[in-house]
Structure 1
C-alpha cells in the first residue's frame, strides 16, 4: 500500500484533532491507519528530533539526567514507573535497567526508530526520549520529571541526532510480519527472574484448558479477577512484582500498591512512584500458574484475544498477604465448580 505524503497525513491529523482535541497520539495513529512513530516524524525539526540507532550508547548517557519516568505499554496496559537509568547490565541484545523497585528489560534488537520529543501542554514543555519497533509501535518511552536535569538532555539529543530528519518515515506493515512469540520473550526474561513460565514458555490458548505437569500447575481464572487481585493487594499492602511489556521492552514494578481507581473500561493504580492503567475489559483469559518444585511460587497472568500477555503479577511476600490475593483470584472458580 502506498504511504501517504507527510502533507496529506498532517492534514488528516489536524482535522482529526480539531474534532477530538484531547485525542492521544496513539489513538490518532490507529484512526488514521498510520503508526505513532510516523506521526511523531511529522514534527521533525520542531517538536521532535530523529535519533540515530546507537541505542546502547545512548542509554549509557541517561545517568546524567537523574530521576526519570519509564513508560512501557501494550494495547491494554500502560506501565509507568519512576526510577534511575544509571545501573545497567548487558545481556546480549537486552539492556537491563535496575533501580530499587524499578526494572526495565529493553530488547534493543527490536528497536528501529527513536525520537527526542518536546510536548507542549498546561503551560509546560514535557521532554522525552521515545523508541519504536519496525512497525512504528512504541517500545519504550523515557520522560524527564520535575527532578530530572534538563541541561544534559539537549546535549544527549545533539550527540545522537540523526542526519536524516525527514518528515516521511517508512515502517513495516504488521499484518505481513511473522508472529513473534512475545510470551516466550517476556516470561523467559531475566527481568522477571523467577517469573511465570511453563516448560516451553507458553500458555494455553483455550480459556477452559488446564495444565498439570511434574513441575507446574496451570488453571484458568474467571473474568474480573484482575481488579479483585489489585484491590486485595492494595488493601493488604502486599509487596507485588507487576510486569507489562511488548516486543521491545518489559517493565517491572516491585513494591506495594495503594490507590486503586476505576475509570470506565480502565482499572488504575495511582501511586507514587508507580502508575498502572489496565483495560481489563479486553482481557480474554487469565491464568494461575503454580510451581510444584523449587520456590513453589505462584503467578497470575492475563492475556488478550491473541494470547499475548497483558499483565503479569507475582509476589516475593511470605507474610501471607499474597496468599490472600491468590485466594481472592481463585475463589470464584472454586465456587462455580462446587
Structure 2
C-alpha cells in the first residue's frame, strides 16, 4: 500500500504532461532526458496506445515490402534522419545479428542491440499516427517506422496483426552504461596506426582496423596525421558549421551526397541531392520531399575531413563528433561500390577545407 507521501508524489505521466504544458513542441526523447528516465519508460507510462511487438524484428522488417511508403526515423542525441520511401527486400545475415536494406531505404541494422518493440498509436486531436518503435535494453529508441497517407493500410494492418504480442510481459530495463572511455593517445602506436590506415582496401574495413589498433574512432582520426585528416573549425558567431556550409555548397552545385546518421542499433543513409535547407536556432535542417535531416550543431564539438584509401581510390568524408567522442553525422559523395569517388564531391570538400581548416 502506498504511503501518504507516495500518494502525493506526481506520477511520471503527470510530470510529462506538466512539462508539455510548458514546452508543447518538446520531443519525447528530450522530455525523457529532462525527467531523468529513458524514452521507453516515458512511453510506457501512457495508459493506452502502446502495444508490444514480438521480438522477431528481422522477420518484421523483411515483411515490410507490401506496406508501401513509410517514414523511417533514426536519431542520436544531436541528429535526426528521416526517409519516406518503400522497403525493398530487406535481408538478415550473421545468424540474425545483422540486417541490410539497399535502395531508397538504405539501412545497416545491428539486431543485437534491439530488445523491445511496440506499436504506438498517438492521437493529436487532429490526426491519429501509428508507428513501430524499437528500443535497446536500456530503453533508448533506436528506430521508428511511421505509417503515412501513402501507406497500404490493409498491408500495414496485416503486418501489425501478425507481429503484435498480446502476451508480452512488462519489460525489465537495465541501466545505461557509462559512455565509452576515449583511448589515451599515449597508449596508441601511431606509426602502426598510420601504416594500417594506409593499407585499407575498403572503407568497410575501417572498424576492424580500429579494433586491431585498440583505438576509438575519434582518437584515431586525431592521431593519424594531416595526410589523411583535416580538422575544421566548428560553428561560431562568425562562422557557419561545416555541415551548413557543405549542404549549401551541395545545394548550389547539385552535388549528390550521402548522409549517414546512426546509433548503437542502426545506421540510416540518404543518397541524392538536397534543396530546401533552413537554419532554425541551433538546428540546421534539410526539409526535402522524401528526406529530412535535423542536426543540432551546437552539440557537435569536433569536425574533420577524413580520407581513407581503397581499391576504388581515396574515399573522402566529412565527420562530426559530439563531446563524448561519438560519431553524430557523416557525409560522403554519392557513389556505388566499384566506382571512384566523384570529382565533384572532392572539389566541394577541398573548398570547405580551404575555408574552415584550423
State the match for 1:83 in structure 2: 85
Q: Using the TM superposition, name which of 145-154 and 227-236 deviates more.
A: 145-154
Q: Are the structure 2 counterparts of residues 319 and 110 from structure 1 closer, same or farther at C-alpha, using a change threshold of 3 Å? A: closer
Deviations 1:144-178 (A, max 9, x none): 11110122323322322223466x64321114587
State the match for 2:232 in structure 1: 221
Task: Give 1:298 shift.
Answer: 1.1
**Which residues of 2 match residues 1-338 of structure 1 at below 5 A?**
8-43=11-46, 46-92=48-94, 93-100=97-104, 102-121=105-124, 123-164=126-167, 169-175=171-177, 194=203, 197=206, 199-200=209-210, 202-205=216-219, 209-212=222-225, 217-223=228-234, 224-294=241-311, 295-316=313-334, 320-334=343-357
How many residue pairs get aligned? The number is 315
Q: Are the structure 2 counterparts of residues 310 and 178 from structure 1 closer, same or farther at C-alpha, using a change threshold of 3 Å? A: closer
1:87 & 1:247 partners in 2: Cα distance? Answer: 23
Tell me, yes or no, if the aligned pair for 2:182 and 2:219 is still in contact at 8 Å: no
The runs of at least 4 aligned residues of structure 1 exceeding 6 Å deviation read 4-7, 177-181
Task: Give 1:48 shift.
Answer: 1.6
1:18 & 1:293 partners in 2: Cα distance? Answer: 53
Tell me, yes or no, if the aligned pair for 2:79 and 2:329 is still in contact at 8 Å: yes
2:182 & 2:147 partners in 1: Cα distance? Answer: 31
The two structures, once aligned, show a CA RMSD in angstroms of: 2.9
TM-score (norm 1): 0.84
Tell me, yes or no, if the aligned pair for 1:103 and 1:252 is still in contact at 8 Å: yes
Task: Give 1:89 shift.
Answer: 2.0
Task: Give 1:217 shift.
Answer: 1.1
Q: Are the structure 2 counterparts of residues 155 and 123 from structure 1 closer, same or farther at C-alpha, using a change threshold of 3 Å? A: same
Tell me, yes or no, if the aligned pair for 1:106 and 1:250 is still in contact at 8 Å: yes
Larger Rg: 2
Unaligned runs of 5+ in 1: 182-192
Q: Using the TM superposition, name which of 153-162 and 198-207 deviates more.
A: 198-207
Tell me, yes or no, if the aligned pair for 1:71 and 1:140 is still in contact at 8 Å: yes
TM-score (norm 2): 0.79
1:261 & 1:109 partners in 2: Cα distance? Answer: 36
Partner SS for 2:206: coil
Q: Are the structure 2 counterparts of residues 8 and 88 from structure 1 closer, same or farther at C-alpha, using a change threshold of 3 Å? A: same
Task: Give 1:27 shift.
Answer: 1.4
Tell me, yes or no, if the aligned pair for 1:83 and 1:99 is still in contact at 8 Å: no
Q: Are the structure 2 counterparts of residues 269 and 178 from structure 1 closer, same or farther at C-alpha, using a change threshold of 3 Å? A: closer
Q: Are the structure 2 counterparts of residues 250 and 178 from structure 1 closer, same or farther at C-alpha, using a change threshold of 3 Å? A: same
1:35 & 1:50 partners in 2: Cα distance? Answer: 17
Tell me, yes or no, if the aligned pair for 2:334 and 2:342 is still in contact at 8 Å: no
